[in-house]
Structure 1
């Protein structure tokens, strides 16, 4: 097993590995293109960039895995440099031989040499094996990524937009909450009044029973 930085002679093997990874993934479109020419161009650009890192793993001299990384920062919002691990893939027949660990070790060395403070990874949704692999190596959750197609976003934005001529009230939610609180307060006050009325009626009934049940006092007689 061997891990090294990719060269131009590895380009076609890298394209094959990317397409194989896409076919295995349930959300291949988010991983990479299925167009060989486009993939070839993208990998060439990544490999030629100063902050691009393309690692290839071989097993018995045959290409068996790849790792695609980018050094990022410092930027407008952070002074730190980080290594973004965009993709890691090992062919099924070469798994459980330590290739993944070897590629992450090489990536960590790149990060250390560049002064990167952290290594970020964004495994695809549903890739439980990769999630467990990264967790064992100490990767902790940092953020939740969400994706939507441009068409769907436009459609939802159009559906959420207010109708023409309809005025929007930025305090609508606060007003609704206040109205509900007042309604609950009135209901609670009404319950208290009902309890008082019930208690008063109960007391009146008890007094009435006491009056009706009282025996009239008999007149006393004296005998001489």
Structure 2
């Protein structure tokens, strides 16, 4: 008996089954909105990737069934380090197809895209809470480059001292609130 094989192909923005699968498998990493808007986001991603020589949206199929996906994008290592890199964004395998070679095939697709474009490095990211995904990437040779942290703007503002005076642009005079506070202080002193 032969083992089912993993095949790779580009996702099609006009295929509702591709869009539905991608919306489901990437649900945790996409913006929080209704399913229709997420499906629209997937269509936009797939159309952009199909039109760009620097992007590919790859679907992995296992025995003819959609099993995983990854978005590949040519970029720079960081906005400051302009060394080219292939970003392997959100490589996900459907839970029913894990440990069947699908994840490895997606990483191989990223390496092939990098070689095709003459790029020396591939980078990816996995959720900090996903021990299995992080161990998988480490086994394939990926090491940590940075730790990305995220917080709501309101929390950052509260914890960095929002009561501080806002920064002024060159040539900008004091804010109205500062002017009024200074006038109140002068009135209190003279009363």
Whether these two folds match at TM > 0.5 is yes
TM-score by length of 2: 0.70
Contact 2:13 2:44 in 1 (8 A): no
Q: Say what the alpha-carbon RMSD is for the aligned residues.
A: 2.8
Contact 1:57 1:65 in 2 (8 A): yes
Residue correspondences, number: 159
Closer/same/farther in 2, CA of residues 134 and 10 from structure 1, 3 Å limit:
farther
Distance in 1, Cα, partners of 2:144 & 2:6: 30
* Distance (whole Å) between structure 1 residues aligned to residue 88 and residue 50 of structure 2: 14
Q: Which deviations, in whole Å up to 9, do the C-alpha atoms of 1:60-119 show, x marking residues without a partner?
A: 211111111111148873442101111111111111111111111121011111111211
- Secondary structure at the aligned position of 1:68 is classed as strand
SS at match of 2:162: helix
Please name the residue that 1:55 is paired with: 58
Report if the CA contact (8 A) 1:72-1:82 is conserved.
yes
Question: Among 82, 90, 95, which residue is 2:93 paired with?
Answer: 90
Q: Distance in 1 between matches of 2:66 and 2:120?
A: 30
What TM-score does the superposition give when structure 1 sets the normalisation length?
0.61
Larger radius of gyration between Structure 1 and Structure 2: 1
CA contact (8 A) 2:13 2:43 kept: no
**SS class of match (1:54):** strand
Give how far 1:136 is off: 0.6
Bigger helix fraction: 1
Distance 2:97 2:65 in 1: 10
In the other structure, the counterpart of 2:47 is: 44
